[in-house]
Structure 1
Amino acid sequence: MGSKTILFLSIRIPIVVGNIAKKGIGGTAMQEVAFHPLLLVVVLAFAVPFVLEHLRIIRIPVVVGEILAGLVIGKSGLNVVTADPWLDFLATFGFTYLMFLSGLEVDLEGINLSRVNNKRPQIARLLTGALLYFVATLILSFLIALFLWQQKLIKNPWLLALIFSTTSLGIVVPVLKERGLIDTSLGQNILISAVLADFLTMFLTTVLVALATTGPTHEVLLILVLFVAFFLLYRTGLVLSRLPIMRNLAGATSEIQVRGALATMLFFISLAQELGSEIILGAFLAGVIISLLSRRGSSLRLKLDAIGYGFFIPIFFITVGSQLDLAVLVHSHTALILVPAFLVSAFLVKVIPALFFRSYSNLREKLAAGILLSSRLSLIIAVSTIGLRLGAISETTHAAVIIVAIVTSSLSPVLFSKLVDPGRPKQLKTLIIGASEAGLVLAQRLKNRHQHHVVVVDHDPVRLAKGKDMGLTLVNSDATTYQGLEKAGITEATAVVAATGDDAVNLRVAEIARRQYGIKNVIAFLNNLRNTQVAEDLGIKVVTPPLSTLIVAENILVHPETFSLLRDEPEDTTFEEVRLRNHRFFEQRLKYINLPGDVLVVSIIRGQDRIVPRGNTLLKKDDLLILMGNRDSIKEASRQLGAV
């Protein structure tokens, strides 16, 4: 390229850009855009996470902080943000993008149906229970809404019933994962109930709005076209995702996966508009498609989250806060009744149905499930915003709904954590299949030295009697059957050890525990070395007694002192594995962390990597820390590091 050409471009490009800014791309006059309101909103969005990070009393969701920031600059505060068409457009797009990410949160891989025995009757029972829970919630919500309507406190009982029936997948899923409950029976019941509540509320809201705007006409049936498009586009996506060119264009400036995801979202939004239905259902279905076509934690999901939560969604929530008029609540007699009534109802409609379901094993679990499912955020604000736009709810009702979203999203996770982990270390439940000599000794050591809740399963009366003399918990059952394992409590087990002395039986039991019940920590005692590869391919850890004896002898000869440290472990000294969950320690250097007593971090496991800890080693979320120290100090360190 010659120097004259470069000079021409350097002069011409700014002129073209300037003309576009003044006249628009088509050459017509374009209204000057004021960026000041957007700048203020974006700066607030940047500042909110920093402020919330320093709040130690209660962990407030970032989106709640954004609503509160909007209150400060909006009608209820400084009133420095006025109506702006560009800001309104970005907020509207943020609203639809939020519904898109809500669909993306529907992680069907997270629904581990293997925990329910992988049998169709069991799966049907689980889904039926979640559906009945939603129906009970909806009926109870409608009765409360009908009472409020009869008292002339609200305009539309149907829409308010749907508002009460919502839940927040965006809160439920992270809380269950942080507490390590996502794969448990409790976690799976809560997760499926939340997924159904999100989808059915979205669908029923779309139907209700269609009936309210067009009446009971054939146009309501056009909503089904969205589902036809969903299946067609999903099948198309499956084909396209397997093409080599999709992988080649996935990075750099092409970002074909991101472009495809956004095109899918806008297609469904446009289709919903053409069909005369609410765009939230279209955006939600688009998110579900991308969820089905991509893995959780994939780069595509991270990029989509970054686009939404980094820009568009904060604009929506700050705008919601800025448009909220708290003066309506303060000076309204109706509001003084609605706010406490809504808050009490928000918890009652979720907790009361949970108390009557057998899916949860005890009263504490039932209360915990109902309270976590009471958390509401994105969807409740979305439905309320739609109702306000249609005139189905008043400004006062809308303001009260926002207060409910703020309170429940902040309070529910805290109460749930208190109920499922009431300040004491969780006792691990280990099933030992086979009351063999090795099985009984292992059970006794786990119980006495590590405080595990151990259950030994066998059906031989002589071996059971020996275990009873040792003070162990025993179950007389055939562990090679599903019924026998469930009688022993395998659905609540965190680990299974197959130690019967028969390789075939051990392999079968271990395979059932690993595949059918999704238990990650499964150990099989195998005498025949040829069986070890089969077990390891199934994800089963193997102990081979003959080989283990040789390894012990080898370590005594080669590393006598190190081996004696493990063998002759003092009564008050122990090793412990702790998963780092406490956000206060994320990205902190080890030398700046004061662990209690004599606790040492002897190793760090991060993914597939084993790290030798040093003073400058940075700790990261979900690191597995191997701790050594006296028992009391280890318990305290585990509580601190694993606290959520």
Structure 2
Amino acid sequence: MEETLDFTPLLLVSVLAVLVPFVAWRLTGGLVPAVVGEVLVGILFGEPVLGIITHHNEWLTFLGLFGFAYLMFLSGLEINLSLLGQSPGRRWYIPGVALRHPLISGTVLLVLVVIATFVGLRLMSTVGLITTAQIPMLLFILIATAVGVIVPVLKDRPDLGRMGQALLVGGFLLEFVAILGVGVVAALEREGITWKIALILAVPSALVILVWLSRFGSGRFPIIPRTMHELAQTSSQLKIRASLALLVIFVALSQVAGTEMVLGAFVAGLAVTVVSPRHGSSLRGKLDALGYGFFVPIFFIHAGATLDLGAVFDSTESLILVPALLLVAFGAKMVPSLLGLVPAWGIRPGLAGGSLLSANLSLVLAAGAIAADLGVIDDGLHGALLLMALLTTVLAPLMFSTIAGRAPDQEDGHTLIVGGGDLARTLVERLMAGGRRVIVLDRDPDAPTKWGAVGVEGVVGDPMDALTLISVRLLQTDVAVIVDFEHSDEVIDYARSMRRIHPTLRVVTWTSEMDPQFEHTAIEAYSLSDVTALALEEAVLRPGLHAARSDPESGLVEVEMLNREFDGQTLSEIDFEGDVRVLVVMREGESSVATGDTSIFLHDRLTLAGEPAAVALMGNRFQERKRSRWFVDVRTTRKIETEY
């Protein structure tokens, strides 16, 4: 059997998957997404040019297919469903106010984009570039947007605030409707109008059942979440297995229902989004690593390798299709942005958002292949769609950056403390000792005087009141810590009130008994018993780190190891200057207590402790020479900049 298996194509794809992001970054500085490079090298080494990677390798074909399913799964993971349940406010009837609500602006964008795309396709059919029968499938292909491209761009622009959330929700609605529409059209092409079309509803219905079980089943069957938690960090990695099982279950359900697996994979991602917390969980990081580290690159490279580019250049008509499709792709997103985004955010941000929504790659690659297999589009139109997708993925982020301009320089955000008791005072003092900026929201009428004596700003008010939350500059807040409350429902009400203004705000609190609603509302709750046990464990197993954390005068920072001089050396081989030591080494998300035999490598995260001046000096040595270096104070997560 081993003689029949050829691993050479998989070896080549694996090597290319490693090299492409590095080369793309070095050549373009990150302006061109790595996925574009992966498709291009697929074209180079695949059937269009060299012919090394072909569709005849069954292993590679399967991995490429599963990679696409996994990409749609990860797209579902990016969606924050809590944004859809926000209240539009009392002045919802004013367009400029209503369109600031993510769900309203996203819905308006969805309707306008569908109309604009249909008009553009109708014009193309009028001049004979496409047929009328092709419009339904092309409509759903072109309204889609690349959530995988939008999310990284928006993460680099926190200054966009609620407009960024509006773009994300709009992108989610466009992607979901496109995926559902492609599934329906494909089913109609295969079966016609039959009762089997109703089976497509089985996929979202399964999602609803899973949501109900996650919210109400854990209380009736407590052994399930407890066992999942106990096995999550063992070799069983039960949460990863369960997530992958969900993916396969929904993909199989899609096949049984007669629709495309793209819908099942996307809904599987939504399911994991619903049942797992968005903050404080390593599950999403592990799923991202598994997908973007292996399956997704194989899909993009294989898609490029099996692309029939020859069909695009076979006729003048096919070549004309590319600019025509580009015009529809950008026009159908940017023109609606004039009505859906500009009234709320202004002309430049609105047009920039419309250009970013024009990016469309993964669904075009998948839906184009589906349409070609069904005979809805010919090879020339299929190739033109793929070239259009590549160009939009490259041009959309560049146009967004050009129109929106550079992000304004912003200071680090502050921490909001809700409460005024002894625990709040102790926390404030420790955060201030670490250099963290703090604002206290207290119900005590004497709060300004009481907290002013400590050296922090105290505001009197109710955490449920919108004007009070605006007065504490909630949009500039990194994290809100709810310290004083009567019961857990009060914490949940506070969190929901804050997130109506700041949808992505981290909310942290303590509890004596865990409430399942904390997880569903993405509140990071820490059990007093667990925190106490953790502190005692640290004192026993890592006394040096515990002492450094407990002593406000001790230097304690985390640095990234960038100096090639120390790459591969053990700590005992390094000449430390002054009273400083390495306590913890973190590598690829896993931390270990440092000893003299511990080796360090590039990009390790090192926790240094000791005399502050010596810690700063040694931190400079560990970092690569450049104009400025950033440390992270592990007690406050505050960035500290030093210059050489």
The alignment's TM-score, normalised by the length of structure 1, stands at 0.64
1:223 aligns with 2:200: yes
On the 8 A contact 2:75/2:266 being kept in 1, the answer is: yes
The offset of 1:159, in angstroms, is 1.1
Distance 1:481 1:47, change over 3 A: closer
| 1:355 aligned partner | 338
Q: What is the deviation of 1:299?
A: 2.1
1:201-235 Cα shifts (integer Å, max 9, x gaps): 11111111112211121111111121221122233
Q: Any residues of structure 2 matched to 1:93-132 within 5 Å, and which?
A: 93-108=66-81, 111=83, 126-132=102-108
1:89 aligned to 2:71? no
Please list the CA deviations of residues 221-255 of structure 1 after superposition, one character each: whole Å capped at 9, or x if unmatched. Answer: 11112122112223334546862111121133211
Cα deviation, residue 347, structure 1:
0.9
Match of 1:198 in 2: 175
1:166 and 2:144 aligned? yes
Percent same amino acid among aligned pairs? Answer: 33
Cα distance change on mapping 1:151 and 1:270 into 2, 3 Å: same
Judged with a 3 Å threshold, the aligned counterparts in structure 2 of structure 1 residues 397 and 587 are, in CA distance, closer, same or farther, namely farther
Aligned letter for 2:50? Answer: L
Instruction: Give unpaired runs (5+ residues) of structure 2.
Output: 415-460, 479-493, 507-522, 525-558, 567-604, 624-628
Give distance in 2, aligned partners of 1:628 and 1:136.
Answer: 49
Alpha-carbon shift at residue 58 of structure 1 (Å): 5.6
2:527 counterpart residue number: none
CA distance, structure 1, for counterparts of residue 31 and residue 497 of structure 2: 37
Structure 1 pair 118–36 and aligned structure 2 pair: CA distance change class (3 A):
farther
Q: CA deviation at 1:342?
A: 1.3
Distance in 1 (alpha carbons) for counterparts of 2:303 and 2:17: 13
State the distance in 2 between where 1:489 and 1:218 align.
56
For residue 237 of structure 2, what is the amino acid of its counterpart?
A: E
Q: Tell me the residue number matched to 2:260.
A: 278
SS, match of residue 615 in structure 1: helix
The residue type paired with residue 202 of structure 2 is V
Q: Secondary structure at the match of 1:55?
A: helix
Q: Residues of 1 paired with 2:401 and 2:631: CA distance? A: 19
Cα distance in structure 2, aligned partners of 1:220 and 1:367: 38
Task: Indicate conservation of the 8 Å contact 2:146/2:362, yes or no.
Answer: yes
Asked if the contact 1:429–1:492 (Cα under 8 Å) also holds between the matched residues in 2, the reply is no
Displacement of 1:187 in angstroms is 1.0
Deviation readout 1:33-88 (Å, 9 max, x if unpaired) = 22222222222112212211211366221211110110111122211223222221
The 2-side partners of 1:99 and 1:479 are apart by: 42
Preserved contact between residue 326 and residue 388 of structure 2 (Cα < 8 Å):
yes
Partner of 1:32: 4
Aligned to 2:165: 188
The corresponding residue for 1:340 is 323
Q: Which moved more, 1:323-332 or 1:66-75?
A: 323-332
- SS across alignment from 1:518: coil
2:471 and 2:333 map into 1 onto residues whose CA distance is 28
Q: Check 1:310–1:126 CA distance in 2 against 1; reply closer, same or farther (3 A cut).
A: closer
Matches within 5 A, 1:514-533: 514=498, 516-518=500-502
For 1:37-436, list aligned pairs within 5 A: 37-56=9-28, 59-82=31-54, 83-108=56-81, 111=83, 126-155=102-131, 156-181=134-159, 184-238=161-215, 239=217, 243-296=225-278, 298-357=281-340, 360-422=344-406, 425=409
Residue type at the aligned position of 1:152: G
Distance 1:521 1:245, change over 3 A: closer
CA deviation vs aligned residue, 1:396-427 (integer Å, no higher than 9, x gap): 22222222222222222222223333486579
Q: Secondary structure at the match of 2:129?
A: coil
The count of residues paired between Structure 1 and Structure 2 equals 467
Report if the CA contact (8 A) 2:31-2:397 is conserved. Answer: no
- Alignment map for 1:453-602 (pairs within 5 Å): 494=476, 514=498, 516-518=500-502, 588=562
Residue by residue over 1:140-194, the C-alpha shift from the partner in whole angstroms, topping out at 9 and shown as x without a partner, is 1112112223333234011111121011111112211111146x12112111111
Is the contact between residue 381 and residue 402 of structure 1 (CA under 8 Å) also seen in structure 2? yes
Segment drifting more, 111-120 vs 356-365 = 111-120
Instruction: Give the letter for the 2:168 counterpart.
Output: L
The alpha carbon displacement at 1:385 in A equals 1.9
| Per-residue deviation, 1:331 | 3.6
Tell me how large the CA RMSD over aligned residues is.
Answer: 4.2
Say if 2:631 and 2:639, in contact at 8 Å, map to a contact too. no
User: Residue 160 of structure 1 aligns to which amino acid in structure 2?
Assistant: L
Residue identity opposite 1:255 in structure 2: Q
Task: Find the structure with the greater CA-based Rg.
Answer: 1
Distance (whole Å) between structure 1 residues aligned to residue 499 and residue 398 of structure 2:
33
Alignment CA distance shift 1:169-1:515 (3 Å): closer
Answer yes or no: is the 8 Å Cα contact 2:182–2:367 preserved in 1: yes
Give the distance between the partners of 1:519 and 1:140, measured in 2 at CA.
30
**1: distance between equivalents of 2:471 and 2:316?**
54
Q: TM-score, normalised by structure 2?
A: 0.64
Q: Relative to structure 1, is the Cα distance of residues 519 and 71 closer, same or farther in structure 2, using a 3 angstrom cutoff?
A: closer
Asked whether the equivalents of residues 494 and 519 of structure 1 are also in contact (C-alpha less than 8 Å), the reply is no
